[in-house]
């Protein structure tokens, strides 16, 4: 009977065995990436957390900066609209005025639809995500 009890003690079951198995798999994963088990300490953990957080913040700000050139779309749109308005206002003949005005209104409608799609599909989600991330970083909000 006592032999059976010893066998049961050494059987790989229970929460401790599960924890050790998970730890060993993580250790194998880290060793493949050059992290030795001796490097698993609190100071290295803090260094990794700070480094990875810095890289994540850099990625967020880089994504925001990558969108800035896309704002030139609005400059081109304003220039186009002002150019057409000046052209329409300086037109002398009524027939040309009505034709240019009608074409301009059709162009404005198409421009509005296109810009609404661009803002709604590209800028709004990314900008909203970035504002949320930055506000959480600044105010340490938790949901």
65-95 pLDDT, tens digit per residue, is 877 877 788 899 999 999 999 999 998 999 9
143 falls in which pLDDT band (50, 70, 90)?
low
Residue 119 three-state SS:
helix
Q: How far apart are CA 98 and CA 49, in angstroms?
A: 65
Six token digits for residue 39: 């490097």
Please say if the pLDDT value at position 1 is more than 70.
no
Per-residue DSSP letter, 41: S
9-22 pLDDT, tens digit per residue, is 555 678 888 888 89
Among 50, 51, 45, 54, smallest CA distance to 26 is for: 45
In sequence order, what DSSP letters do the residues of 53-116 get, joined into one string? Answer: HHHHHHHHHHHHHHHGGGGHHHHHHHHHHHHHHHHHHT--SHHHHHHHHHHHHHHHHHHHHHHH
- Check residue 141 and give its pLDDT: 60
* Mean pLDDT score, 100-105: 94
- Check residue 10 and give its pLDDT: 57
């Amino acid at each position: 009977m006592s032999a059976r009890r010893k066998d049961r003690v050494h059987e790989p079951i229970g929460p401790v065995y599960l924890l050790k198995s998970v730890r060993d798999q993580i250790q194998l994963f880290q060793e493949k990436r050059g992290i030795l088990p001796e490097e698993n300490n609190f100071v290295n953990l803090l260094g990794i957390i700070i480094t990875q957080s810095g890289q994540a913040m850099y990625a967020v700000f880089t994504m925001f900066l990558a969108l800035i050139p896309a704002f030139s779309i609005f400059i081109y749109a304003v220039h186009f609209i002002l150019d057409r308005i000046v052209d329409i206002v300086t037109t002398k003949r009524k027939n040309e005025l009505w034709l240019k005005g009608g074409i301009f209104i059709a162009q404005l409608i198409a421009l509005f639809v296109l810009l609404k799609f661009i803002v709604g599909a590209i800028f709004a989600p990314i900008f909203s995500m970035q504002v949320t991330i930055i506000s959480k970083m600044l105010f340490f909000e938790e949901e």
